[in-house]
Structure 1
């Protein structure tokens, strides 16, 4: 389950600034209830995840959503998986370099779980407890797709790993950017200056399985997941994402700009 956001965790408040070593100390003014059948609201921050295949545009749309929320006065921490904390970033390098591939899909899943446990402890949970909205590029659904459906790991094993690492820290909203595997791989290959990582270099059949797996997850959990057509123009995708966030999560009112006479 690779991910290519531009950097580890960042706090967004008007404009991005580096997060603290603890994963971004932030507070939120928005703690309203979840609507539309989404998971029950926690009494502090919000947790939004972006999922999808390669080249779906997750990093771009995550950044746009964070900036739009910041304009509403929401303190936002953006992060990524694998990675998002110092320890998890070390594991990220091992995974995306392909060093763990010879040990098989279950070993990779275990490494992802170890990275996720550190990420949650160091970055995500502290930010949520302080009231921040955490937006993460990939989370546990990617493990289910990449190591589960495409890597053929038994769901029961992944359930056990997820229970041990994630616990009840589950996303309030998951935005699945859906795009045909062929188009996504073409986009990924066109990224200037970025070579294919361990997962991008897999064949087309693998990536088609990924897409099917993500769509199956969304179909099973419609209260949490919203499928967004990633083939559309970026501005159209941004609008669809904002509509989904506005519908599913309570947002603070936009700040009024003072007008001088």
Structure 2
């Protein structure tokens, strides 16, 4: 995680506190890279910004991340157990990082949130949506992103990117058919909640994707952003 200094003006709707932006998508979609760039653009606009991730983002949640990612393919998690672990990590993240930051007026850019659990565990692994919705109601205290940027990429391209960097984790090693279901899940989420979600075509060059994300934030949240990277 990283925080940048600065002062935020009031949110466009007059609501106190920071704004919550999530980046979602399948493996190799570029979420971590784009989260870093978007956080830099927000900081360059004079906004206090925190970049974080899931699973993780708080000490207890990072410990659970190691558990979730470290198990070998020969010992898969039961899908419901896996969903419960994600929500345990998310609750720690919310209690110790997200809520304090937002209450302090900090803009939060998060690499994955609830939509990843829906896409991976419900669409990808068959966990009933009612179970995930119930866990969300129990653990999230009504928190939802102000804006979700869904990086859409064919799994073959994303997994090809993963292969070039090596060290694939257990999610990246899932069967191709599972990755296709996960992509369909993210697209279904974006289609069902267009007021919150923006679907962004992520096969384009990173600079083009970054410009699309800045434009979406400016259009939807009323904050004009520029690229802080030198030309």
Q: Distance in 2 between matches of 1:65 and 1:253?
A: 9
Following TM superposition, the consecutive aligned residue runs of length 4 or more in structure 1 with deviations greater than 4 angstroms are none
Residue in 1 that maps onto 2:229: none
Superposed CA RMSD in Å reads 1.7
Residue in 2 that maps onto 1:234: 206
Give the SS at the match of 2:144.
coil
Q: Distance in 2 between matches of 1:54 and 1:122?
A: 27
Q: Which one has a larger percent helix, Structure 1 or Structure 2?
A: 2
Residue in 2 that maps onto 1:10: 2
Give the SS at the match of 1:56.
coil
1:212-256, CA deviations, whole angstroms, 9 ceiling, x for partnerless residues? 0000000000000001110011111011000000011022788xx
Tell me which of 132, 156, 165 is aligned to 1:182: 156
Q: Distance in 2 between matches of 1:174 and 1:157?
A: 22
Q: Distance in 1 between matches of 2:128 and 2:7?
A: 39
Question: Is residue 2:61 matched to residue 1:88?
Answer: yes
Q: What TM-score does the superposition give when structure 1 sets the normalisation length?
A: 0.82
Q: What TM-score does the superposition give when structure 2 sets the normalisation length?
A: 0.93
Tell me which of 27, 33, 43 is aligned to 1:70: 43
Structure 1 residues without counterparts, runs of 5 or longer:
1-8, 14-26, 35-40, 255-261
Question: How many residues are paired up?
Answer: 225
- Return the offset for 1:28: 4.1
